[in-house]
Amino acid sequence: MKPRLLYALHSGNLYGTERMALATLEGLREDVDPLLCAPPGPALAESARRGIPGIAFTGPRDLAALMRRELAAHREVSFAATAVTHSLLFVALNALYRRPGVHLHMVHGGTDERDSYGRKKLLNHAGIRFVAVSDYVRERLIANGVRASRIQVIENFLSPEDVASRPRRTPFNAAGIRRVLIVSRVDPIKRIDLLLDCLDRHPEPRALAFRILGTGWDLDVLRARAEKTHPNVTFAGFSDDVPGELARSDLLLHLCPVEPFGLAILEAMAAGVPVLVPDSGGAGSLVDDGVSGLRFRADDADALARRLAAIDCADGDTLNGLVAGADRQLATRFSAAARIADYRRIFNGVET
């Protein structure tokens, strides 16, 4: 009989954290008996569509009752969680049931240092293993007191089916770019304002069309600023067709210097679109500069302008070379087979 794997999400949405949970459960389905536990929302609907069993909970008491039922019904129970409270709850309940299994705490990072990293040290002495989605996330955990020996980095990935199903930009047959896409929340930490600073100071990038998909605290202020001085910048708000928007673009621009990972970067690679990212944070570590994408000095509007100007002068072969390099990364470093193998080793008790 396969061991039970409960995967508890703190959110029922379908952003990067939830999508990676589903992809991980799907990849491990031959090894474990999966159950996704999440608040009501699209994550559970997507779980059902993929044929992954799921169950909703509405708070800690509800989740505790669910855990008790699962611990009572199975001789071996592994657990993965994204919230400190949920991990502590499972530790307390399993102290009574003493079910063998692996307990992973998944750390995707976030914008709030305390909630995303600081509180994780509460789990240091609970026998829990941490999975960080990037070296940057690992560094932030260690800086906030998590024991380095308990952390393993397993990067996010795209499945072959996901890559194959996405619309793809046609290869470049001429020099330069025209359409630049940004997929991001419009919050201060994401540094969308850096683009406007760049355009204020440098005339060259003003010939490019910038389209920003996303909402957030800064949306109204930055949209008003762009409308006054930069008509080539469009704040489009929420879009339910990000794959199509990517395939119609010439470049994905990422601006956040402290991004924990940046799944949109992998999605741009899958769409055959070159990427330009800061040289810091998790996003910077995803790109080999000049091979699978390009980097600019983080938080530097002048460096961003220089890099945009260079890309706009690049010939089609250079741009297609970046796309080919990104394809190789997707097939190796960011492949489902490689990263699911990492999880499989953990659940099989193989030390790494």
Q: What digits encode the pLDDT tens for the residues 132-184?
A: 999 999 999 999 999 999 999 999 999 888 899 999 999 999 999 999 999 99
Confidence of residue 110 (pLDDT cuts 50, 70, 90): confident
pTM metric for this prediction: 0.93
The answer for residues whose C-beta is within 8 angstroms of residue 196's C-beta and 6 or more apart is 222, 225, 226, 229, 230, 233
Structure tokens of 56?
């909703």
The answer for residues whose C-beta is within 8 angstroms of residue 115's C-beta and 6 or more apart is none
At 40 the pLDDT is: 97
- Provide the 8-state DSSP code for 206: G
Residue 31: how many other CB atoms lie within 10 Å: 15
At 352 the pLDDT is: 44
**Which residue in this structure is represented by tokens 């031959």?**
30
Least confident interval from 157-161, 208-212, 229-233, 318-322: 157-161
pLDDT at 321 over 80: yes
The answer for residues whose C-beta is within 8 angstroms of residue 36's C-beta and 6 or more apart is 7, 9, 21, 22, 25, 43, 44, 47, 52, 53, 54, 55
CATH for the stretch 161-331: 3.40.50.2000
At 347 the pLDDT is: 87
What integer is the mean pLDDT of 40-55? 97
What integer is the mean pLDDT of 260-271? 96
At 112 the pLDDT is: 82
Nearest alpha-carbon partner for 274 in 311, 228, 299, 227: 311
What integer is the mean pLDDT of 75-87? 96
| CA distance between the termini of the chain | 26
Instruction: Tell me the β-bridge partners of 233.
Output: 210
> Is-contact 88 122, C-beta < 8 A?
yes
C-alpha dist (Å) from residue 203 to 224, 232, 275, 302, 305 = 20, 12, 21, 11, 9
At 111 the pLDDT is: 78
- Which phi and psi angles does 166 have, rounded to 5°? -85, 140
**Half-sphere exposure for 114 (CA within 13 Å, toward CB):** 0
> Is-contact 111 74, C-beta < 8 A?
no
**Which residue in this structure is represented by tokens 């800061």?**
278
pLDDT at 350 over 60: no
d(CA 275, CA 273): 6
At 99 the pLDDT is: 96
Confidence of residue 128 (pLDDT cuts 50, 70, 90): very high
**Which residue in this structure is represented by tokens 């309940």?**
93
pLDDT at 253 over 90: yes
- Which phi and psi angles does 29 have, rounded to 5°? -60, -30
Name the class of domain 4-157+335-347. Answer: alpha beta
Confidence of residue 348 (pLDDT cuts 50, 70, 90): confident
At 52 the pLDDT is: 97
Q: Where in the chain do CATH 3.40.50.2000 domains reside?
A: 4-157+335-347, 161-331
> Is-contact 303 297, C-beta < 8 A?
yes
What integer is the mean pLDDT of 248-277? 97
Confidence of residue 114 (pLDDT cuts 50, 70, 90): confident
